[in-house]
């Protein structure tokens, strides 16, 4: 699939994207992507191909169709005695992928993740480092909710506290 060329952001949009990329880098240094990949692969073992690397672009392209996310949330919902979400396993269009991602977010909220920790489908679909931070934070938060419900395997990510000085 050929990558689309986007116009470079300027002004405030550029500043915001740079800030999000820096925040992603901070999470990466804290080990959050590695913890997310380890946990998601463990929960989805045998049900979906593993994410091969915690590198952001690899994670993003692997999760992009929403299928693995939907399988993840369905396993958590089942363990919690809740109904699974609907999703399409064969993703042939961006519309289907975005619907899968939206269904994942609905399922995550039903599971107990606060709406503030969900993300927009474009944050994942567009394969951009800054917006992918929202996806990482969403799955990171899902791991903590799963831990609060004693789901096994446990999520081993840590809460990182930072102070924004700007």
Tell me if 154 sits within 8 A of 42, measured CB to CB. no
Are 105 and 138 a contacting pair, CB within 8 Å? yes
**Do the domain assignments include residue 163?**
no
For the chain, state the CA radius of gyration: 16
Q: What is the pLDDT of residue 11?
A: 81
Question: Among 6-10, 87-91, 104-108, 110-114, which stretch is predicted with the lowest mean pLDDT?
Answer: 6-10
158 inside domain: no
Q: Does the residue 70 lie in any domain?
A: yes
> Considering the chain, what percentage of its residues have pLDDT values greater than 70?
90
Taking phi over 0 as left and psi of -120 to 50 as alpha, with beta for the rest, 86 belongs to: beta
* b/e code 116-152 from CB counts within 10 Å (16+ = b): ebbbebebbbeebebbbbbbbbbbbbbbebbeeeebe
pTM tops 0.85:
yes
CATH number of the domain within which 138 lies:
1.10.418.10
Answer yes or no: is 86 within a domain. yes
Query: Residue 164 — pLDDT band, cuts 50, 70, 90?
Result: low
Residue 87 lies in a domain: yes
Whether 7 maps to a domain, the answer reads no
CA dihedral (116, 103, 77, 23) in degrees, to 10, reads -40
**H-assigned helices in 54-117:** 56-63, 67-79, 94-111
Residue 14 lies in a domain: no
Residue 1 lies in a domain: no
Nearest to 40 by CA among 112, 143, 118, 160: 143
Return the structure tokens found at 7.
Answer: 């116009």
What are the DSSP calls for 7-26, one per residue?
PPP-HHHHHHHHHHHHHHHH
Q: Please give the tally of structural domains in the chain.
A: 1
Residue predicted with more confidence, 43 or 11: 43
pLDDT of amino acid 7: 66
Mean pLDDT in the chain?
91
Look up the domain containing 54 and give its range.
32-148
């Amino acid at each position: 699939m050929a990558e689309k060329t986007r116009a470079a952001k300027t002004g405030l949009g550029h500043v915001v994207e740079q800030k999000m990329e820096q925040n992603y880098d901070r999470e990466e240094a804290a080990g959050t992507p590695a913890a997310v990949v380890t946990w998601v692969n463990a929960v989805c073992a045998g049900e979906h191909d593993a994410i091969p690397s915690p590198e952001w672009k690899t994670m993003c392209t692997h999760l992009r169709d929403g299928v693995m996310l939907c399988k993840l949330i369905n396993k958590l919902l089942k363990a919690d005695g809740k109904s699974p979400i609907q999703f399409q396993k064969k993703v042939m269009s961006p519309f289907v992928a975005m619907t899968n991602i939206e269904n994942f977010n609905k399922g995550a909220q039903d599971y107990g993740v606060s709406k503030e920790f969900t993300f927009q489908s474009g944050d994942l679909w567009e394969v951009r480092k800054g917006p992918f931070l929202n996806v990482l934070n969403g799955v990171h938060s899902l791991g903590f909710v799963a831990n609060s419900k004693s789901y096994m395997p446990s999520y081993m990510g840590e809460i990182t506290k930072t102070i924004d000085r700007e």
